[in-house]
Amino acid sequence: MTERTKPAFALRLAAGTYRFRESLFLLPTLVVAGGLALAALTTRIDDAIGDRPIPLTVSMDTTAATWLVSTVAGAMITTAGVVFSLTVVSLQLASSQFSPRVMRSFIRDRLSQLVIGLLVATFVYCVLTLPSLRGEGTGPAPRVSVTVAIVLAVVTVVAIIAHLDHLAHRLQVGHLARDIAAEGLAVIGRIRAEPRGLTRSEAALTPPASVLRVHTDTGGWVSQVDTARLLAAVPAGTTVRLETRVGAYLHQGEPLVTVWPPPPLDDGAERALAAAVAVSDSRTMQQDVDFALRQLVDVGLRALSAAINDPSTAVEVTLRVGGLMRELLVTDFARAVTDGRGRVLVRPWDLDHTEYIAHAFDQLRQAAPPQPQVVAALLRVLRMLIAHVEQAGRPEHVPALRAQIDLLLDGVDAQSGLHPHDVARLHAMAADATDPAEHGR
């Protein structure tokens, strides 16, 4: 594999792994393939051992075994239809109750994928085992094949029960918000880890007059940027400016990267530069912490809508947003990095902390004034973040957080229908210097 093909391979591998996790088809297909292989293996074992007794196996005649395996096969394919229906219903509920963007959390659930695969794999195993149940009706049935069919049936039934319990918990907003926030925190952890061999640089973000621009040949969402591979595609002493950011949408033909001084690039090098930036059909959270905020805010906005009117859900989402922002506001973002050979990558379009604050709170702040309970939660979270960044030595974030509090109170004052006592309480909460947690409910 050449140096130029490595960026495309690495990003395609990461994208393929991510798609595998979010597919209701791939893992079940692998489990079904395992059922096919298991049927072939048990048949061979039974052919090899004949009628000799084997410990821990079930002994029955061929007629009973045929009836048992046929019953298991029919039950499994029928139950598979029920589980498919439950999965579709859960996706519909997630889309309507929370947000269409959170459906990915249900689709990528490993237990759901495994149960679907087990049901179909057990059915396939039983169907393939039936032809091996040959001979006289009163004769002995293949011990290993029948025993494995029974074990698969029991394991699948237990998995179905676990799936129903798991699904009931997954539909609770607390579990959903926790999973989204946890995935966002994992992305923040990857942001904090500098790519190996790269250091921060103070290079200029503005390109000179003479540059080379590489354009994208496809449209979609920017899901990954391989920083090290992007630099490896250009000669030493070259500066590469990324003209987009992770989480942005690109139209076909838009500028992707700008390179200076213009190197003598051939088509292969330009393809390597373009391949170091992965563009997907849908937005992902591989490197996009802003997408975690987007999902949480969407759930909160849906909860505050007139159709749902669930302020408790909005409060829980607000607290999860605060937890995510608590880590994000003390994370440094490198606008420029260098690899020690004079190659520099600059990323001027990446979101800064002020933009993350706006993305996290603007829409919730605008929708919250009719619900004093949600306003109180927002005030508590914003004051917690102010105390946190001051303690962490990041006072530059305080003005943006205080601006959110001021705008929120302006919205409360302009909201008709609120009792003066509630308005006064919210103003007192915003001005109080005590720990926000002491305000209780």
Q: Which residue has the higher pLDDT, 184 or 89?
A: 184
Average pLDDT estimate for 118-135:
91
Q: What's residue 109's pLDDT?
A: 84
Stated length of the chain: 441
Whether residue 70 has pLDDT greater than 90: yes
Mean pLDDT of 242-266: 90
Are 225 and 242 within 8 A, CB to CB? yes
What per-residue confidence (pLDDT) applies to 15? 59
Separation of alpha carbons 282 and 158, rounded Å: 35
User: Does the pLDDT value for residue 23 go beyond 80?
Assistant: no
Residue 25 has pLDDT above 90, yes or no: no
The predicted pLDDT at position 262 comes to 87
Residue that wins the pLDDT comparison between 202 and 419: 419
User: Residue 333: which of 187, 231, 234, 233 has the closest Cα?
Assistant: 187
CA–CA separation, 31 and 39 (whole Å): 12
Across 53-67, 68-82, 379-393, least confident range: 53-67
Q: Answer whether residue 354 shows pLDDT above 80.
A: yes
- In contact, 191 and 337? CB cutoff 8 Å: no
pLDDT of 251: 96
**Cβ atoms of 379 and 429 closer than 8 Å:** yes
Confidence of residue 434 (pLDDT cuts 50, 70, 90): low
Instruction: Output the CA torsion sign for 348, 353, 355, 356.
Output: positive
What's the pLDDT band for 153 if we cut at 50, 70, 90?
very high
Q: What per-residue confidence (pLDDT) applies to 13?
A: 60
Mean pLDDT score of the chain: 88
pLDDT band at residue 264 using 50, 70 and 90 as cut-offs: confident
Residue 325, pLDDT > 70, answer yes
Q: How much is the pLDDT for 441?
A: 45
Separation between Cα atoms, residue 248 and residue 348, nearest integer Å: 13
Whether residue 205 is predicted with pLDDT greater than 80 in this model: the reply is no
Q: Is 357 helix (H, G, I), strand (E, B) or coil?
A: helix
pLDDT one-digit tens code per residue, 188-200: 998 887 677 788 8
Q: What share of the chain is helix, strand, coil (3-state, %, to 5)?
A: 65, 10, 30
- On the question of pLDDT at 290 being above 60, the answer is yes
**What is the pLDDT at residue 270?**
84
**Stretch 369-384: mean pLDDT:** 96
The answer to whether 368 touches 378, Cβ cutoff 8 Å, is yes
* SS3 (DSSP) at 226: coil
- Residue-wise pLDDT for 171-184, tens only, equals 888 899 999 999 99
Q: Could you tell me which residues are beta bridge partners of residue 178?
A: none
Angle between helices 267-275 and 5-21 (to 10 degrees): 30
Q: What's the per-residue H, E or C state across 332-374?
A: CCCCEEECCCCCEEECCCCCCHHHHHHHHHHHHHHHCCCCHHH
196 burial level (CB within 10 Å; 0-12, 13-18, 19+) = exposed
Which of 19-33, 75-89, 243-257, 334-348 is predicted most confidently? 243-257
Task: Say whether pLDDT at 309 is over 70.
Answer: yes
pLDDT value of residue 36: 95
Q: Is 435 exposed, middle or buried (0-12, 13-18, 19+ CB in 10 A)?
A: exposed
β-strand 239-242 against 344-346: which pairing, if any?
Answer: parallel
- Residue 206: pLDDT above 90? no
Residue 5 in this model has a pLDDT that exceeds 60 = no
pLDDT of residue 92: 80
Range from 3-7, 190-194, 403-407 carrying the lowest mean pLDDT = 3-7
Per-residue pLDDT at 2: 47
122 or 3, higher pLDDT: 122
